[in-house]
């Protein structure tokens, strides 16, 4: 064999100069800037690196140059495959919009046996059946559910306390499964319940039909019971008993819990998290209050978004410690953002989509037959603002509801790429639009982001999480496991 001749690295070096691919940039913290692109890639860099990069004089031998090239922020004349890959990634992330409505919420009753301070849906007393959904409305709503082209359909049975109208819950689940014999979708059910009415009948029904349960758990007993009063008390005890029974009868993964942060929770984040660990949960969603329903009047004004951010950061560091100790526990809101950063498909979380998830991500069939574009839209309506009411099951067809101005207007306005301030924001690919929040707080679906608590919360959390990812190797290792 003739002696093989190999060429040095320099023979394959790109010709000098580079061009920018579409990107956004902004300040990350006092030390660094961040650039992001439409497919969710990011690079953290120093100010002088950013300036050199944008002025097209960044040295190609630097590691930041290589990172920017690898993540498709720049390209050279020698290679153009970045365009193919960017297009592919963008299409993957946008596919969800075409999939259309996946979440269908049935408000089977407004009745409830709890009187929570932060209730968002204006509870009614337990015996007022005037606030129950009728079978006729449920059937009409089910017909609409299967009009959605989405392969994955999730039906959420909500209230009030949906188990107070258990016969209708049974009817909806059974009829949906019957209809699905023809439609053949991936069909899932979840009952959102405080578990006070969890009977053997309910459990065996859930077992038979593969129904999941979701409940509220605000933390240790005194905190939980303080903000979730019920006649005779003992909400926490009943919830915990319920969780154990569900796991015994249906299996460990069949129940999840959600917490709501109130002013009284703020100083107790570690205890709240420990309560979830004590009960064997591997996920906790640190949720801030929404400015709707009773909460808007009684609670929201008593803490600001900065208080919640502080609560969140302390909570997250406690959760990271728990993970470092060998117990897997993920914070669900952080996980949603991490999915937007690292998963090719992003996240399907309805409240952080662009355009907003209203209608095309979720539809709400209210107890009275009204159809809303989101759960929060229904809450807003209970406060007298009908902006997100798409129509009524008795009066409007699927086509009329889904092409109503009440839906098309907010969809058109909430494409982040066209929203004032969002359009230039580096956190855009990890964010979403919340038209109901801005309507509730500022009077229109878009709002002014400088005065938006939603925006402050998003930026605060994202800066914190990206900061951890980039400067704390141990935290990064744990966080990436949550995706």
- Applying CB under 8 A, which residues contact another protein? 1, 4, 6-7, 9, 11-14, 41, 66-67, 69-71, 76, 78-81, 84-85, 88-89, 342-344, 480-481, 483
d(CA 219, CA 136) in angstroms, rounded, equals 39
d(CA 438, CA 7) in angstroms, rounded, equals 60
Q: Closer CB to another protein, residue 13 or residue 51?
A: 13
Q: Closer CB to another protein, residue 189 or residue 430?
A: 430
Q: Are 302 and 347 a contacting pair, CB within 8 Å?
A: no
Q: Closer CB to another protein, residue 316 or residue 338?
A: 338
* Helix axes of 166-183 and 200-209: crossing angle, nearest 10 degrees: 10
How near is the Cβ of 95 to another protein at its closest, in Å? 12
R_g of the chain, CA atoms, integer Å: 25
For 286, phi and psi rounded to 5 degrees? -80, 95
How near is the Cβ of 81 to another protein at its closest, in Å? 4
- Chain centroid to CA 62: how far? 37
How near is the Cβ of 12 to another protein at its closest, in Å? 4
Q: Closer CB to another protein, residue 89 or residue 147?
A: 89
Q: Closer CB to another protein, residue 1 or residue 450?
A: 1
Q: Closer CB to another protein, residue 38 or residue 156?
A: 38
Task: Specify the pairing of strand 286-287 against strand 283-284.
Answer: unpaired
Report the first-to-last Cα separation within the chain, whole angstroms. 51
How near is the Cβ of 91 to another protein at its closest, in Å? 12
How near is the Cβ of 380 to another protein at its closest, in Å? 38
Q: Closer CB to another protein, residue 13 or residue 130?
A: 13
Residue in 444, 448, 452, 482 with CA at minimum distance from that of residue 465: 482
Q: Are 74 and 128 a contacting pair, CB within 8 Å?
A: no
Residue in 56, 60, 82, 54 with CA at minimum distance from that of residue 15: 60
How near is the Cβ of 477 to another protein at its closest, in Å? 8
Residue in 102, 168, 103 with CA at minimum distance from that of residue 137: 168
In the β-sheet with 24-27, what is the strand arrangement from edge to edge? 24-27, 33-36, 42-45
d(CA 58, CA 35) in angstroms, rounded, equals 15
Q: Closer CB to another protein, residue 444 or residue 477?
A: 477
How near is the Cβ of 70 to another protein at its closest, in Å? 4
Q: Which tokens hold the place of 60? A: 């190609």
Q: Which tokens hold the place of 137? A: 């409305």
d(CA 324, CA 200) in angstroms, rounded, equals 39
For 392, phi and psi rounded to 5 degrees? -135, 145
d(CA 409, CA 213) in angstroms, rounded, equals 34
Bridge-partner residues for 102, per DSSP?
Answer: none
How near is the Cβ of 9 to another protein at its closest, in Å? 5
How near is the Cβ of 357 to another protein at its closest, in Å? 24
Q: Which residue has the tokens 């990350």?
A: 28
How near is the Cβ of 462 to another protein at its closest, in Å? 19
Q: Which tokens hold the place of 462? A: 């994202």
Q: Which residue has the tokens 């937007």?
A: 340
Q: Closer CB to another protein, residue 80 or residue 405?
A: 80
Q: Closer CB to another protein, residue 91 or residue 231?
A: 91
């Amino acid at each position: 064999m003739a002696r093989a001749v190999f060429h040095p690295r320099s023979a394959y070096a790109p010709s000098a100069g580079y061009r920018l691919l579409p990107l956004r940039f902004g300040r990350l913290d006092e030390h660094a800037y961040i650039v992001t692109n439409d497919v969710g890639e990011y690079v953290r860099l120093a100010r002088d690196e950013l300036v050199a990069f944008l002025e097209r004089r960044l040295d190609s031998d630097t590691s930041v140059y290589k990172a920017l090239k690898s993540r498709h922020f720049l390209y050279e004349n020698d290679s153009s495959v970045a365009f193919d890959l960017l297009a592919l990634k963008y299409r993957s992330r946008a596919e969800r919009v075409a999939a259309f409505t996946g979440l269908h919420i049935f408000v089977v009753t407004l009745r409830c046996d709890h009187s929570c301070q932060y209730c968002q849906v204006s509870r009614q007393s337990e015996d007022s059946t005037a606030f129950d959904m009728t079978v006729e409305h449920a059937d009409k709503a089910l017909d609409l559910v299967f009009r959605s082209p989405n392969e994955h359909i999730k039906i959420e049975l909500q209230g009030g306390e949906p188990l107070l109208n258990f016969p209708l819950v049974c009817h909806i689940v059974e009829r949906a499964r019957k209809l699905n014999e023809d439609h053949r979708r991936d069909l899932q059910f979840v009952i959102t319940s405080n578990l006070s009415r969890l009977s053997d009948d309910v459990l065996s029904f859930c077992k038979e039909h593969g129904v999941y349960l979701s409940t509220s758990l605000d933390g240790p007993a005194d905190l939980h019971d303080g903000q979730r009063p019920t006649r005779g008390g003992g909400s926490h005890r009943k919830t915990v008993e319920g969780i154990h029974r569900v796991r015994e009868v249906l299996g460990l993964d069949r129940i999840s819990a959600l917490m709501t942060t109130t002013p009284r929770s703020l100083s107790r984040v570690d205890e709240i998290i420990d309560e979830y660990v004590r009960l064997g949960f591997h996920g906790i969603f640190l949720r801030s209050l929404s400015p709707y329903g009773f909460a808007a009047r009684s609670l929201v004004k008593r803490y600001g978004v900065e208080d919640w951010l502080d609560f969140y950061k302390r909570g997250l560091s406690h959760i990271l410690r728990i993970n470092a100790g060998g117990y897997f526990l993920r914070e669900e809101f952080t996980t949603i953002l991490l999915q937007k950063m690292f998963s090719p498909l992003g996240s399907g979380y309805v409240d952080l989509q662009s355009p907003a998830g209203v209608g095309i991500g979720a539809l709400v069939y209210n107890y009275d037959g009204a159809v809303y574009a989101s759960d929060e839209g229904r809450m807003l309506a209970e406060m007298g603002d009908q902006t997100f009411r798409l129509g009524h099951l008795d009066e409007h067809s699927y086509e009329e509801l889904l092409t109503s101005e009440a839906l098309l207007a907010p969809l058109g306005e909430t494409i982040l790429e066209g929203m004032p301030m969002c359009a230039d924001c580096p956190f855009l690919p990890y964010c979403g639009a919340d038209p109901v929040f801005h309507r509730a707080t500022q009077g229109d679906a878009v709002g002014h982001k400088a005065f938006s608590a939603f925006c402050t919360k998003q930026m605060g959390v994202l800066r914190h999480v990206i900061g951890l990812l980039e400067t704390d190797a141990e935290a990064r290792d744990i966080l990436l496991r949550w995706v």
